[in-house]
Structure 1
Amino acid sequence: MTNASPASSRLIATVDALRTALAESTDVLSFTLGGTIDEETAAAAEADGVPREYLDFCRVLDGASCGPSVQLFGLEEAEEHQFFCEPVVDSPLPLSPEKLYCVGMIQEAPVYLDRAGGGVLGTPEAGADWVDAERFDQLAPSVEAYFLERLVAFDEYKRLALVDDELVEYDDWLKLLRRAGLAD
C-alpha cells in the first residue's frame, strides 16, 4: 500500500471498473458489490478490535458477494461471522479471535485475516470439513491482494468457486469481470 493512501490506485481503479460494469448490467445482482464505510464507522470498528487493514479495504469496498460459494464480507457481515475464529474441539487449526479475523468464505470454509502478519489464510480445498484441515494455506499477503489476485483474477476465481467451463457464461461474477474489462 502506498503512503499517500491506505488503498492502492490499482484497487480503487478495479473497484471503480466493477461498479461501472455493475451499474450497466441489469442481469447481475446489485448486491454483488458492497458500498464503502465512512471514517466514523471505521473508527468505531477499530476501537472494537477490527483490524485496520480490513477497515482500509472496506473504505474502498465494503464486501463482495462473488457467488454462492465465494464471499468477501462487508464489515457488518464480518462482525456476525467472528464465531469462526473460536477454537473448535479436536481441530488441529490454530483458531483464536486474538490472532484471526474472519473476512469471508470459500466453499463453506472461512477465510481469515491474520491479525499479526496481515496475510489472508484459509482452507478452501477442505470446504465444509475445514475444521479437520491440518493447517491454513496462505491465500494472499493482504486483503487487497486477496481481492485483486484471487477474486478479480478470472481463472483463479473460477478455480476457487469451482466453476466448470460449461458454467462460465452463467456465473455473475465472471460476467462482471468480463464487462469491467478484467478478464482475458
Structure 2
Amino acid sequence: MWRELEGSRDSTAPEEGKVESRARFLVDASFPSRGVELLRSAGAQVWTSADCDLLGQTESAHVAYALERELVLLTCNPDFLDLQRFPLQRGSAIFVFHFGSGSVNDLRRALRCLAPVLGSSCFSSGCTVEASSTGWARYHCPGNGTRQRRKYRLWHGKLQEWLGESCETA
C-alpha cells in the first residue's frame, strides 16, 4: 500500500532553469549525456568520468573519487547495487538508474528521485538508490547495524512511500 508522505510537495523531474542547486555529481561512462544535460540545466554541478580522468578505471575507483570529493555518484551500471562490494556504511551516495527506453520523458521521470539532493549542499553518504521512471528504492544503514530499504514514487505530484512489506534486514 502506498502512503503519501506528510509535507510532500509537487516535485517533478529536474527541468531547465528550475532550481538553483548546490548538488555535486560524478557520472560514470554508462550515464547518458542527455541525463548530464538535464542535470546541468537544473543547476547541478556535474563532472563526468572523462572530466576526472576516470575512463577505464574500476567501479571502486569511481566510488573512492566521489567519496573523497563529497560527490554523489550517478550510474546506469547495476554492478554498483552489489552491497558486498559497495557496503552502505562506507560509501558515497550511489544512484543506479534504469532509464527504460532512454527517451527524454523516461530520463526526467527517473531523475525525480534526485529532488531531495538537488536542494541540498550535502546528501547522506552510505546509501544506494535504485531508480527507474516508475519510482525508486533507497537502501541505507541507520547506524544500528541493520539495512533498510524504502520504496518511493511520485504520484500526481505527491511523494509516496510503500508500506506493504518489511523493509528492514539484519
* TM-score normalised by length of structure 1: 0.30
- Of Structure 1 and Structure 2, the greater strand share is in 2
- Higher RCO, 1 or 2 (CA under 8 Å, sep at least 6)? 2
Higher Cα Rg, which structure: 1
